[in-house]
Structure 1
Amino acid sequence: MDEIDLRVRRDVDTFGWHVAKIAGDDAAPPWAFSIGLEERFAHPEVVVFGMELDVLHRLVNHVGDEVRRGRVFVDGERAERVLAHHPPVFRSVRPCWHEAFLGNAGWFYRGRPFRALQCFWPDANGALPWEPGFDAAWQGRQPFLFEEDEARALGPGLAAVLRAE
């Protein structure tokens, strides 16, 4: 194991999960995800996209803290007491997206299946990305990993980035 692998293992053993962060760029939004919630709490891992990395990190940690206290988030849930103004919605991530977006979690679980939920944050008016009236300035910041079809899940920009890798 290298230094990063050891840190992931240490964080999971100490805190219950590790937060992996991926910096975005012009073509892809930043994202962060948990590693270890499934192992320690029998709860799906959590991934969230499209905000500043420190905000994403805090949000994943907040969800992890709630899970450690016994809260269970489920597919389709509009979760109160997660964000300050409007509740996010959790959706199940299709396993076909695990390698691309949760790769380190795949390493951690050594090929064993694991579950994941994507936390979708609403805009300032409470609209979610798939709802009419969602703020166009934020459109495309949160892929729809509950969709299996690449075009519907990723949109053209993120799909092009994945094909280029």
Structure 2
Amino acid sequence: TSTNYSPSFAYSIGLTKTYNHPEIICFGFSNRLGHEILNDVAEIIKNGEIIKSGIIYTEIFKDSRATFLKVDKRNIRDYFGAGLNYYDDEEFNALQLIWTDRNDKFPWEDNFEEEFVFKQPLLDRNAEFKFNEEKNLATFTTRQWLEDLKPILRVVHDEDGDWQFLTGDQMPEDIKLVALEELIKRDETLNEIFDLEYNEEADRDFIGGKWTRNKMENDQED
């Protein structure tokens, strides 16, 4: 699955049931290649090897290293939709396959290539801040949120990538700039729309309420 905003990813279904082994997820490949890689890893497991987190593997990719991270359970629901259905919402563990850049560097190593940073979010961490962007990204919110502690009820992800977190009662003069992290620190439920697409908006009635997502109408005429 891939979109203009969210990175592509593929994952296994059935490793837990068949081999009592964590499911595997990987990011950043085409749908076909992603599933080919998963099949290769499944063959390793089928042959009796248990994949472990933190170990360096050299047999998965021809000329580069790979490793695996244990997926934080708080991140599983965001990515394993079909897997959750398969296991009838029973809990299962998962490992994320991590690949290196063209210089064989992992994302946490010095000089990892910047263009690949958002192609494989690291699912062993960041459960408290799920957005792809930097924590200090300047985002638009309202004076009412900042000063009156009113809840964010509407979120807009502009086609140019800007984020707006709105209380719904703001006027143009009420718009303020804050770091994205400040919004999430006050209200972690905003993580629920971390994958809101470009030119998409989401609305809710109260904090913890169900988000309704809509593609924004482009009402600008040429």
Structure 1 segment 16-95 matched on structure 2, within 5 A: 22=1, 24-95=2-73
2-side partners of 1:92 and 1:159: how far apart?
Answer: 21
Q: Which residue of 2 is the match for residue 155 of structure 1?
A: 132
**In structure 2, what is the Cα distance between the partners aligned to 1:77 and 1:53?**
25
* CA distance in structure 1 between the partners assigned to 2:105 and 2:11 by the alignment: 23
Structure 1 position 129 matched with structure 2 position 129: no
Distance, in Å, in 2 between the alignment partners of 1:102 and 1:149 is 15
Superimposed CA distance per residue, residues 57-106 of structure 1 (whole angstroms, 9 cap, x where no aligned partner): 11111101111011111111211211111121100001111111011111
**CA–CA distance in 2 between the matches of 1:65 and 1:48?**
16
Superposition CA RMSD, Å: 2.0
* Residue type at the aligned position of 1:155: N
1:141 aligned partner, one-letter code? K
Q: Mark the CA change 1:154 to 1:120 in structure 2 (over 3 Å): closer, same or farther.
A: farther
Q: Which has the larger radius of gyration?
A: 2
Query: Which structure shows the bigger proportion of residues in helix conformation?
Result: 1
Q: Compute the TM-score of the two structures, normalised by the length of structure 1.
A: 0.79
Residue 144 of structure 1 corresponds to 122
1:154 offset after TM fit, Å?
4.2
Question: Which structure dedicates a bigger proportion of its chain to strand?
Answer: 2
> How far apart are the structure 2 equivalents of 1:46 and 1:88?
13
The aligned length equals 142
Gaps of 5+ in 1: 1-21
Q: Percent identity?
A: 26
2: CA distance, partners of 1:133 / 1:109: 40
